Chain A
């Protein structure tokens, strides 16, 4: 063994880290409260200042955040939400003095094909020297950039878009990858549980889902879960409009002809708006039950003349009225401030990147407080893992593989006179708990259900 103290040796002898994982921390509100560590939570912080070396001082340069998402084409609304959420977080942190005095700058680059997305990520790191990245880039782009992120060693906070393949095969033990939104295939699981809860006697299920990997897998995994939870339910028709379709009339007619008890749709963005408008005209909502898996992405476009009362809508991991504003002032502040900034209600992508940036800030400050040295990316990422962050959606637990989790809201639409859009009827607002959604491998022990390790998502469903 050489005379030099290795990091591992040092960690053994000089570690001052404390592992803590508390659930049920106190609730604060406003940016100042978010910046303070939540009560009762102590994420892993390991002192790694090597003996004889000067602790790293706080860099003078601003912290750069690179947002990679769609800023052109039909998914532009997704990029706008990610970028808007990042700028919101940056402005709030800057107002309060920055991260250890470092101000934040937010940059953006367009994604597109996997090649373009990889290029955007690499240029962010190699040319712009960003400190962290984030964005919703879609499933195939996510799969393409994950290996590069781990290689470039710069944290990336995904909003949604992460796939089962990414979680199980491409990056099963991530360090720099964080999923601030549900992994894509958690949603079908939520949809299946909603259907079993709300329509236990339904037998005939039909689907109108976009014809690409997400739409196909959303339907397939929903049916896979339903086959286990309610074997009497069967798929009677599955239609596949192309992504960006402007005419759903033939799909709606075909589905109505199949006389389903429940129709599942994973159409999102402009597709869902068009679908809902035409579905209303064809009487689909009146004649059967519709469960929308991802329509809530177009939250601000779902006006009352487009979405009638009574449509069941999943909200991914955030709905702007949950937790209720009177019980949880942080969410009230978040919604009101975002509306003032953007003249919009915050979509789930906004909350996801917002909580990701605050988790980053929290980790930097904690490691610095514990070690007296400005942390490297690896230390920041390890401090984020197995921690939690106070967010507008409530406390979000961050698992050892970088998954941010919290209860997943859903509910039935109604027309509340105080809002210009169709919202969720508070009487129907429900939550699916994470332990019923995620693979137990990614859950901390207190949330695991059922207990198990190394189990693949589909195997888990099959084990029900």
Chain B
């Protein structure tokens, strides 16, 4: 394998890793702060892709300039975020105080509702929005073609990671949120409106899920059932990185992305096996994940 190919493999690995990270991060926020395991996150990711496709398709047909198509990405994600304002009070508020099994079951049902609804509205054929992907064109890196749009995903993912870190660790609201995650009753006693705080956090997590689908759409396509595969891998990332850990999600996603990319080049038969091998080793050697908090006696 020549060095140029190794560079492309690393870039491919990071592309996959950061795409995974964008999906996992919302899951991690919900689990880390609210202890909700949200399988419907895959459905929200898919909704982001479909809504953004609808916006881009409409804008492209109307002949709007390219910057309007770029705007479709955050607008699509925001529209998904608005869904949070419906599903959080209707369903999730009731799950906060229940054990994880309940949220797993309820959100799996919600995932199916999302999938069927999207199919009913948009049909079963894959939907592509290629304008931005084609407009960005390809770069030649060390003599190899490489899609420029992939760098947009790198930039978005890194911006989201940085933004979330600043929000959670450098702002007053982030501190309140972390405090509330540790002791909800005490926060309420101190005057924090926990209900509104949870709704806002839920909006943030759902917005990021929608953003993942929206930003990934130009590089792939929107199709029925697209939320299922990423949600399985996202859980693997969560477990490897440590439940609720933002840093862990980034490191674990990078590990999976790079190992998978080299695995495909060197041992293509073991593409998925290597990902889950890392998961198994993590569970044996460090069950709480790379950056997870120590389990309490009760959790054990």
Contacts and interface: CB of A to CB of B under 8 A. Distances in A.
A320 to B, nearest CB: 15
B271 A76 contact: no
B147 A77 contact: no
A253 B125 contact: no
Given A80-B124, A273-B128, A250 B119 contact: no
Q: Could you say which of A237, A269, A281, A344 has the most chain B C-beta atoms within 10 Å of its C-beta? A: A281
A298 B224 CA distance: 13
A77 B126 contact: yes
Contacts of B125: 76-77, 80, 298, 300-301, 344
A298 B19 CA distance: 25
B187 interface: no
Nearest to A274: B220
B16 A247 contact: yes
B154 to A, nearest CB: 13
A394 to B, nearest CB: 27
Contact of B123 (A80, A253, A282): A80
A238 B147 contact: no
B264 A254 contact: yes
A247 B19 contact: yes
A247 B220 contact: yes
Nearest to A239: B268
B145 interface: yes
B130 interface: yes
A326 B265 CA distance: 48
Contacts of A309: none
A74 B224 contact: yes
Interface stretch (B1-9, B177-185, B189-197): B1-9
A242 B272 contact: yes
A203 interface: no
Given A74-B225, A245-B229, A281 B147 contact: yes
Interface in B1-35: 1-2, 5, 8-9, 12-13, 15-16, 19
A237 B124 contact: no
The interface size bin for chain B is 35 or more
Which label, helix, strand, loop or mixed, suits the secondary structure of the B interface? Answer: helix
B261 interface: yes
Interface in A212-261: 237-242, 244-247, 249-251, 253-254, 256-257
A322 interface: no
A253 B119 contact: no
B225 A277 contact: no
B102 interface: no
A71 B226 CA distance: 14
A303 interface: yes
Contacts of A305: 128, 130, 134
Contacts of B268: 237-240, 251, 254
A249 B272 contact: no
A270 interface: yes
15 contacts: A72-B116, A76-B125, A76-B224, A77-B125, A238-B268, A242-B272, A247-B220, A251-B264, A253-B9, A256-B5, A277-B220, A282-B138, A282-B145, A298-B126, A301-B128
Interface of B: 1-2, 5, 8-9, 12-13, 15-16, 19, 115-116, 119, 123-128, 130, 133-134, 138, 144-147, 149-150, 216, 219-221, 223-226, 228-230, 260-261, 264-265, 268-269, 271-272
Given A247-B219, A277-B219, 4 more contacts: A78-B124, A79-B124, A253-B12, A281-B145
